[in-house]
Amino acid sequence: MSRGGVVVVGAGPAGSTLALQLARAGVPVTLVEARAGFARQFRGDALMPSGLEALARMGLWDLFERLPRQPLHGWSIRVEGRELFRVAEPLGSLQPCTLVRQQDLLEAVLAEAQRLPGLQWRSGVAVTGLLREGERVVGVRLADGEELPAALVVAADGRESQLRQQAGLALHRPGAPIDVLWFRLPGHPLLERRNDFLTLVAGGAIASAFAGADRQLQIGWVVAPGEPQPQLEAAAWCERFAALAPPWLAEHCRRSALALQGPLRLRVQVGLAPHWWQPGLLLLGDAAHPMSPVRAQGVNMALRDSLVAADALIPLWHAPGGAGANGPAPVRELLDRALAAIQARRDPEIRYMQKLQAAEARQGRLIAHNALLRQLLAAGAPMLGPLAKASWLRRQRPLREGLAGSLAGSPLKERPIDRQPEFP
């Protein structure tokens, strides 16, 4: 790679899609991933309309439509065994929340990128350090000793970002209000016809259940950070789920207890870096702003980060006197200004989403830990349900569609997503 190129570290949603956009525009880019494949025990699979919009604006809508996927049909809130309210997708959006295995999405994006001559793919090798000239980052050092010089290094290496730590960029952590124990069970035929995201609140416990992109039933059980993990057999866990669930799901949990997978403890980390960049270095996705799992914002915000970053960076490689493919680096001052502009465009939406996520979590805790309130909501569901539904809907629009104007200036590279896709 020439010194005029970009090294992207981390092939998650932000890193892989940014590398593809840069390579398509003729910017020389090396994508480095420490792991040899994309399989993980847990990855967020829910694409909100905000994430789908970003994919469309990247020119990846046709790629998305080729992937196996599962639409979410609605959202159901149940308190003490009674349905408080249900809302059908797409809640006024052009697209429903759609479940796509993140592994499938990343593999498809990488396959598309590898067809381009300007992209180099390095997997199964970790980045161990940053290369510097004075205060400027000018590349990375790999675990095998190889050095990759670059005009820009993009750290998209996750919430525990090693590059963020090596650069001395702080991450402010307000504290995570929850951890989640994650389980899997075989799917249920009813979920093929109506796959609702169920929020279940009863007896001081909060859980969620839905069919994932692989059609398996996924169950999340909320615990307090640091709370000891209950050491229960599978049958005992399924009894706990059954106590919260509607009758059909309770029966399914009991019948399928021997097939239970989990729990996998997801230690929720929420944070925001006050500074996303240094000269020659940019943080994106979870490296800059680890998100709560509430409403699956992590993958969707990462895709929107990637789109905004590409729109700001690509013109620098094509400006007169700048850098063409395999040419010299952009003028450093202009590059640094672009990095500052990327953070300025993305920071307001990230702060707003984290504020909304925290409010949702607080409300869930309030209901879960207030027995009188739960009994009132359950007993008064016919009258209180419509009021609760209206309040819930007002909060959901930005969590689904993002902060208005956050992608202003990002051209739509394909047809608008103006119709419901046909799901398999």
Q: What is the DSSP string of 103-133?
A: HHHHHHHHHHHHTSTTEEEEES--EEEEEEE
CB 273 within 8 A of CB 288: yes
Handedness of CA 127, 129, 132, 137 (dihedral sign): positive
Output the pTM of the full model. 0.93
Per residue in 287-296, pLDDT (tens digit) is 999 999 888 8
The pLDDT score that the predictor gives to residue 72 is 95
Quick one: what percent of the chain has pLDDT higher than 90?
Answer: 78
Burial of 227 (0-12, 13-18, 19+ CB in 10 A): exposed
The count of other CB atoms within 10 Å of the CB of residue 220 is 20
Query: Looking at residues 179-187, what average pLDDT do you find?
Result: 94
CB 202 within 8 A of CB 280: no
The count of other CB atoms within 10 Å of the CB of residue 400 is 22
Burial of 115 (0-12, 13-18, 19+ CB in 10 A): exposed
**Chain position carrying tokens 């963020």:** 164
Say if residue 260's pLDDT is above 60: yes
More confident residue, 412 or 195: 195
Query: Looking at residues 122-130, what average pLDDT do you find?
Result: 95
The pLDDT score that the predictor gives to residue 174 is 86
Confidence band of 413 (pLDDT split at 50, 70, 90): low
Confidence band of 322 (pLDDT split at 50, 70, 90): low
Which three-class secondary structure state does DSSP give residue 374? helix
The pLDDT score that the predictor gives to residue 207 is 96
Which three-class secondary structure state does DSSP give residue 65? helix
**Chain position carrying tokens 């001052």:** 333
Which three-class secondary structure state does DSSP give residue 138? strand
Buried b (16+ CB within 10 A) or exposed e, 288-323: bbbbbbbbbbbbbbbbbbbbbbbbbbbebbeeeebb
Burial of 73 (0-12, 13-18, 19+ CB in 10 A): buried
The pLDDT score that the predictor gives to residue 325 is 43
Say if residue 2's pLDDT is above 50: no
Per residue in 103-124, pLDDT (tens digit) is 999 999 999 999 999 999 999 9
Strands 29-33, 6-9: pairing kind = parallel
Query: Looking at residues 125-150, what average pLDDT do you find?
Result: 96
CB 139 within 8 A of CB 8: no
Cα(373)–Cα(376) distance, integer angstroms? 5
Cα(12)–Cα(107) distance, integer angstroms? 10
Per residue in 32-86, pLDDT (tens digit) is 999 987 766 556 789 999 999 999 999 999 999 999 999 999 999 999 999 999 9
Confidence band of 191 (pLDDT split at 50, 70, 90): confident
The pLDDT score that the predictor gives to residue 238 is 97
**Chain position carrying tokens 């970002």:** 161
Query: 110: number of CA atoms within 13 Å, CB side?
Result: 23
Nearest Cα residue to 306 out of 4, 20, 3: 20
Confidence band of 315 (pLDDT split at 50, 70, 90): very high
The pLDDT score that the predictor gives to residue 420 is 37
The pLDDT score that the predictor gives to residue 188 is 92
Quick one: what percent of the chain has pLDDT higher than 70?
Answer: 91
What's the whole-number average pLDDT of the chain? 91
Say if residue 414's pLDDT is above 70: no
Per residue in 272-284, pLDDT (tens digit) is 999 999 999 999 9
What are φ and ψ of residue 182, in 5° steps? -110, 135
